Amino acid sequence: MTDHRARALAALTAARARTALLTDSVDDGDLTAQHSPLMSPLVWDLAHIGNQEEQWLLRTVGGQRALRPEIDSVYDAFEHPRATRPSLPLLPPAEARAYALEVRDRVLDVLDRAEPGGGRLTDAAFAFGMVAQHEQQHDETMLITHQLRRGPVALTAPEPPRDGTAGLPPEVLVPGGPFTMGTSTEPWALDNERPAHRRTVAAFHLDTTPVTCGAYLAFMADGGYGDERWWAPEGFEQIRRHAITAPLFWRREGGQWLRRRFGVTEPVPLTEPVLHISWYEADAYARWAGRRLPTEEEWEKAARFDPVSGRSRRYPWGDDDPTPDRANLGQRHLRPAGAGSYPGGASPLGVRQLIGDVWEWTASDFLPYPGFAAFPYREYSEVFFGGAHKVLRGGSFGVDPVACRGTFRNWDLPVRRQIFAGFRTARDAETTKEAR
C-alpha cells in the first residue's frame, strides 16, 4: 500500500494546487459569476470538489460522520444542470475554500491509515485516485470557464514547442488484425475503460498529426460551412441556426483570422492543431477531405499497439508515465504545441501527439465494453451510454496525466465547442485519397 499511498498523496496534492491556481487567480466576483450557461460558476466547482471528496473519502472510505450533509443536494451534478446552478444557495468563496481545506485535512488522515483488503475502493488506493482524477477533471472544466470569461488576463504559461511537420509523412498505415483494447490491470482506470478485451480492426491510414488550423482554414475558404454535402443533417441545421462559420473564439478582422485565447487576441496559428471544434465540424471537414473520423477502436490501436511485440502499451511511447518531453499535459502550456511536436511521445508506428494537446473526436458513440460493470456508481459512465454522446480520446493540454492514459475515454455531445477538442482523420487502407 505504501507506493499506492505515496502516489495518491502526490495526485491529491497536485490537483489541489491546480484548483488553487484556477480559483485564486480571479476575484470573488469572477468566482461567483456564471460566465456561460454551459458552465457552472467557478465557486460551484470548488465546493463540489470538496463535497465529492467528503462523500467518497471521509464518509465511504473513512466511515466518518458527514461534515455538511445539508449541501449534498446543492452540489449534486445530476440534480442541477449547469445553467441553473447560480440560483442555488452556494457557499461563498471564503466558505467554499475553508470547507474544501477542512475536508482535505481529514482525508490525509484517512489516507495515512488506509490499508488494502477493504475492497475495491481501498485496493491500490483506488478511491483516492478516483477523487484526484475527479478534481483534475473539474480543473479542466474550470480552465474552460477561464477561456469563456471576459476580462483581464488571469492565467499565463510558457509557450509550448513549435516543431512543425517538416519531414513527417502526412499519414501512417496502421496494420489490420486483433489487439487488446481497454484494461483490466491499470489500478486507477475507471469503469468505462474496463475490462480488457480483444478487438479486430481492418488496416487503415491515420493522420500523423492532428488537423491544423491552416488545413481547417482551407476547408473554410472552400465554402465548407455553406456546403450541405459535407454535413450530417443535424449538424448542418446546428450551424445554420447559430450562424456558425468558424471555430469557436475565431473572428475575421482586417483580412486575417484572429482568435481569443485566455483573454489574449492573436492571429490564428496555422501550424497548431485546430481547437474548439464540434464533432459535426470535425466530421464535415473529414468528408470534405475525402476521409473520415477514426473509430474509437482504430484510435486506440494506433495509440497502444506495438507491432513488434503484439501487445498493447499504456501509452504510445511505452508503459512509463507521461513526461514533459512526451506530451503536452497538465496546463503546463495554455495552448496546443505545434503539429508534429513531441517526437519522444510518438507511437511505434510514428503517429504523433496522440496524448495531450487536443482531445480528438472519434466516429464512435459512447458505449460499454463487453463485460462492463458500473463501479463505484452508475452515474459516472452508465447513464451516458447510447447514441447521444460521441467519444473523444487522447486528452488535451488542460488534462492532468492522472486523468489521461491510452485507455482513457472522454465523451460529450456532438454540438460541444467550448471543450479543448480537435481531431485527426483516417481512411480505409484499400481506398485512395481523392481530390474534392
Residue 359 is placed in which grid cell? 482531445
Residue 54's φ and ψ, nearest 5 degrees, are -65, -45
pLDDT score at 435: 45
Which pLDDT tens digit goes with each residue over 359-388?
999 999 999 999 999 999 999 999 999 999
Q: Is the pLDDT of residue 48 over 50?
A: yes
pLDDT score at 431: 59
Question: In which element (H, E) is residue 345 found?
Answer: none
Q: Taking residues 101-123, report their average pLDDT.
A: 90
Q: Taking residues 178-203, report their average pLDDT.
A: 98
pTM of the predicted model as reported, rounded to 2 decimal places: 0.96
Which pLDDT tens digit goes with each residue over 280-291?
999 999 999 999
pLDDT score at 119: 87
**CA gyration radius for the chain?**
22
Which pLDDT tens digit goes with each residue over 240-282?
999 999 999 999 999 999 999 999 999 999 999 999 999 999 9
pLDDT-derived band at 192, boundaries 50, 70, 90: very high
Cβ contacts of 243 within 8 Å, gap of 6 or more: none
pLDDT-derived band at 157, boundaries 50, 70, 90: very high
What dihedral angle (degrees, nearest 10) is formed by the CA atoms of 179, 180, 182, 183?
A: -160
Q: Taking residues 66-93, report their average pLDDT.
A: 97
Distance CA 16, CA 102 (A): 13
Q: Taking residues 318-340, report their average pLDDT.
A: 98
pLDDT score at 117: 66
DSSP 292: B
Q: Taking residues 112-133, report their average pLDDT.
A: 90
Cβ contacts of 364 within 8 Å, gap of 6 or more: 295, 296, 297, 390, 391
Residue 93's φ and ψ, nearest 5 degrees, are -50, -50
User: What is the identity of the amino acid at 392?
Assistant: L
Half-sphere exposure of 217 (CA within 13 A, CB side): 17
- Name the residue among 35, 197, 15 with its Cα closest to residue 100: 15
Question: Do residues 403 and 136 lie in contact, with contact meaning Cβ atoms separated by under 8 Å?
Answer: yes
pLDDT-derived band at 162, boundaries 50, 70, 90: confident
pLDDT-derived band at 10, boundaries 50, 70, 90: very high
pLDDT score at 436: 55
Chain centroid to Cα 375, Å, comes to 20
Distance CA 148, CA 142 (A): 10
Residue 428 is placed in which grid cell? 480505409
- Name the residue among 329, 327, 359 with its Cα closest to residue 345: 327
- Which residues on adjacent β-strands are paired with residue 197? 181
Distance CA 52, CA 103 (A): 10
User: What is the identity of the amino acid at 159?
Assistant: E
- Name the residue among 8, 266, 217 with its Cα closest to residue 112: 8
